[in-house]
A and B are shown apart, each in its own frame.
Chain A
Amino acid sequence: MWSYFANPGRFDGLARTLIPWTAGLTVVLFAVGIPWALVVSPPDYQQGETIRIMHVHVPAAWLSMAAYAGLGASSFVYFVWRHNLADLAARSLAPIGAVFAALCLLTGSLWGRPMWGAWWVWDARLTSMLVLFLLFCGYIALRVAIEDERLAARSGAVLAMAGLINLPIIKFSVDWWNTLHQPASVIRFDGPTIHASQLWPLLVMTLAFTVFMVTLVLSLMRSMILETRAIALGRAIERRAEAEARR
């Protein structure tokens, strides 16, 4: 099935039918989630109104990590099978993941100022998120620096895979180094420790951001396919014009 959709033309058709649906779903979920999270849900008894930052912060953190996992996976697929679409997926995931990582750091900093009394602390989770952001930046910078498309795709794939292998080690080493951030509170063996009145809007917002990212990735990949096609068509037209001029 995957190799069936590995054809750019077929993927383009699929993406064209999917994008309106995911975009619509994004709008609906945000229309429900934003008022719920930012207005309706009760303030926290300790954190007060600042807990509303969490409804952007946590989805951004989760999506930046998901984007790096996707970047690593599609890089692996490209490196082994040379499917062009996998490279397009990697290329479109990188800037999106970088923006979500930056958003996570920014909202975390805004929340940290009133709650911890500092814009930034060198805590384990913050630091590994910063490193993740740097990994995205390195990937983007490498791809921009290499002019040859195929070489850029290949080198990028190698770097993304190296980052994926190293990411758990970085996470572990930074945890070893320092810990202050609250431990995981949503996904745990003994059920979430977060209250239901906050959990539901958080889940809706997370879903909204996730569908939003899927929409973005699909549209970016589609526009890249169209760009390649436009360039190829432009070359073909030039060639025909040259041939006619010679005649």
Chain B
Amino acid sequence: MSALAALFARELRLSWAGGGGAAGPAAFNLAALTLAPLAIGPSAETLAAAAPGVIAFALLLSALQSAERMFGEDTADGTLELYALAGPGLALAALVKMAAFALASLWPAPLIAFFAGLAYGLSAEASFALAAGLALAAPGLVMIAGFAGALSAGLKRAGLLIALIAAPLQVPILIFASGAGRAAAEGTGLAGANLMMTAAASLLALVLAPMGAAAALKGRLE
């Protein structure tokens, strides 16, 4: 257990070392949300209608953005072998690594989503439902992005591969998380159900993705 705690602390320190690299996804998220209205147009109705989707989509992109680094560096410098030799095993190590990444770089995502929802013209309740949906979605999105990152660790053009592999697998989470915001905005009464589905999809990813990532990483050690 203490080995996992040490790994968690190390990952957190690493992601903040060297000038706040962990802020990358949040900055990306903010930039995307600032630019989207400029592309969509200033019409308040259109913006409010598009808000849940655009905000959830921006989070998905920012979760993909640094998935390449998650396992790529450890594969390149041999740290991966040490993780495999250590007691807890690769699946738990992968889980801890991805959890640390989610915590370090995506913790502002629900906050950003809440304020962006207000800025796009959603009501406070709808913005809150959307933020809650994204808070539940973020772990699942990171897990799937990390799984894709483990599959393409150390490859040329890993970024392209990660997008192609992770995007279809992330479809359910994207649908349910943005659906929560949309249902709250339209008052259909389905926001709670959408939130529960988001949580379910996220939990499933939380269980399966670390094992998948470990299976993918094990292939690199032979």
Q: In the complex, which residue of chain A has the Cβ closest to the Cβ of B153?
A: A155
Interface hits, B148-203 → A, CB 8 Å: 151-152, 155-157, 160-161, 164-165, 167-169, 171-172, 175-176, 179, 197, 201
A201 at the interface (CB under 8 A from B): no
- Across-interface contacts of A7 in B (CB, < 8 A): none
- Across-interface contacts of B204 in A (CB, < 8 A): 169
B146 at the interface (CB under 8 A from A): no
Interface hits, A191-231 → B, CB 8 Å: none
A177 at the interface (CB under 8 A from B): yes
A170 at the interface (CB under 8 A from B): yes
B7 at the interface (CB under 8 A from A): no
Asked if B175 contacts A176 (CB within 8 A), the reply is: yes
Q: With A138-B164, A141-B164, A159-B151 in contact, is A173–B171 under 8 Å at CB?
A: yes
B77 at the interface (CB under 8 A from A): no
A184 at the interface (CB under 8 A from B): no
B19 at the interface (CB under 8 A from A): no
Nearest Cβ on chain B to A146's Cβ, whole angstroms: 6
Interface hits, B58-101 → A, CB 8 Å: none
Asked if A142 contacts B168 (CB within 8 A), the reply is: no
Interface string of A98-142 (1 = CB under 8 A from B): 000000000000000000000000000000000100110110011
Asked if B152 contacts A142 (CB within 8 A), the reply is: yes
Q: With A151-B219, A173-B175, A176-B175 in contact, is A134–B168 under 8 Å at CB?
A: yes
Asked if B172 contacts A145 (CB within 8 A), the reply is: no
Interface size for B (C-beta < 8 A) is 28
- Across-interface contacts of B167 in A (CB, < 8 A): 134
Asked if B215 contacts A170 (CB within 8 A), the reply is: no
- Across-interface contacts of A174 in B (CB, < 8 A): 171, 175
Asked if A135 contacts B168 (CB within 8 A), the reply is: yes
Asked if B172 contacts A173 (CB within 8 A), the reply is: yes
Contact of A146 (CB < 8 Å), options: B155, B175, B215, B222: B155
Interface of B is mostly: helix
Asked if B219 contacts A145 (CB within 8 A), the reply is: no
A245 at the interface (CB under 8 A from B): no
Asked if A131 contacts B212 (CB within 8 A), the reply is: no
A166 at the interface (CB under 8 A from B): yes
Q: With A131-B171, A141-B161, A150-B222 in contact, is A169–B201 under 8 Å at CB?
A: yes
Nearest Cβ on chain A to B14's Cβ, whole angstroms: 25
A83 at the interface (CB under 8 A from B): no
Nearest Cβ on chain A to B167's Cβ, whole angstroms: 7
| Whole-angstrom CA separation of A159 from B161 in the bound complex | 12
| Whole-angstrom CA separation of A146 from B75 in the bound complex | 14
- Across-interface contacts of B175 in A (CB, < 8 A): 173-174, 176-177
| Whole-angstrom CA separation of A150 from B218 in the bound complex | 12
Interface hits, A78-99 → B, CB 8 Å: 79
A243 at the interface (CB under 8 A from B): no
- Across-interface contacts of A79 in B (CB, < 8 A): 215
Asked if A145 contacts B157 (CB within 8 A), the reply is: yes
B128 at the interface (CB under 8 A from A): no
| Whole-angstrom CA separation of A172 from B173 in the bound complex | 12
Nearest Cβ on chain B to A142's Cβ, whole angstroms: 6
> What are the 8 A-B residue pairs with the smallest beta carbon separation, nearest first?
A173-B172, A154-B219, A138-B165, A134-B168, A138-B164, A173-B175, A131-B168, A158-B215
28 residue pairs from A and B, CB less than 8 Å apart: A131-B168, A131-B171, A135-B168, A141-B165, A142-B151, A142-B152, A142-B165, A150-B219, A151-B219, A151-B220, A154-B219, A155-B151, A155-B216, A155-B219, A158-B212, A158-B215, A158-B216, A159-B165, A162-B147, A162-B169, A165-B208, A166-B169, A166-B172, A170-B169, A173-B172, A173-B175, A174-B175, A176-B179
